Amino acid sequence: MRNMMMASALALAAMTGGALAQDAGNTMPPQIEVQGQGEVAVAPDMAVISLGVMHRAPQAQDAVKAVNENMDAILQRLTEQGIESSDVQSSQLTVYADQNMQPRDMNNGETADKPVEFVATSMLNVRVRDLEALGGLIDLVLQDGANQMSGLRFDVQSPEPLEAQARERAVQDAMEQAAQLAAAAGVELGPVRRITAYNNGGRPKMMEMARSDSGAPVASGEVTIDAQVSVIFDIAQ
């Protein structure tokens, strides 16, 4: 009986020792984690403008008719100026009744309803690939009846190579940070364990007002493509 108990104890010890050795072999080495930043600034080569027409009328169909007449003229103008149909997209078309209250009568303290007006609005998003023509184009569509403008954004037509360059700079930044931290800590930097990339897209930078040969002032400057990476390095043992 004693021999059987001793044999069982030895077997359990052997199993436990093997498991501990296996766990020790799977222990993660010490690591350094850093965040790298990279950016590329370039001049924009494209603009996206949101423009449209709004009209009021006692009858809904009259408001819509007035909007349609102006929008037809604007679309024709865009075609004449070399804007491709694929670069023009309708973004909003609304019609609603607007009934406001008259100011309170100071004599009898009563209010009266104004006659109902119908408001029709139509909006377009237009990509303009020739920035030199942007100011003049804005002036022309205003002449054609555009009375709504809600945004002007600058961008680049082919961001992929710039995004790749920004990621490369972000990784280089992370490697430099990790090397500096390892040297300061008196350890040797090991291999990369994991890299996670984040794209932040483009954003305007250093916008300056400039006027083209004819037309409204437009902003010229730079668009910055950002990238961020998280890199985990092992510390060499």
Is pLDDT larger for residue 112 or for residue 53? 53
**C-beta separation of 56 from 63 below 8 A:** yes
Rounded CA-CA distance 176/230 in Å is 13
Q: Per residue in 41-62, pLDDT tens? A: 999 999 999 999 999 999 999 9
Distance of CA 232 to the CA centre of its chain: 27
Enumerate domains of the chain plus CATH numbers.
28-43+159-235 (3.30.110.170), 46-155 (3.30.70.2970)
Q: Per residue in 117-144, pLDDT tens? A: 999 999 999 999 999 999 999 999 999 9
Is pLDDT larger for residue 3 or for residue 105? 105
Q: Per residue in 25-45, pLDDT tens? A: 567 789 999 999 999 999 999
Rounded CA-CA distance 173/35 in Å is 8
> Is the pLDDT reported for residue 19 higher than 80?
no
Question: Is the model's pTM score more than 0.75?
Answer: no
3-state DSSP percent of the chain in helix, strand and coil, to 5: 35, 40, 20
| Mean pLDDT, all residues of the chain | 82
**C-beta separation of 151 from 227 below 8 A:** no
* Amino acid at the residue 170: A
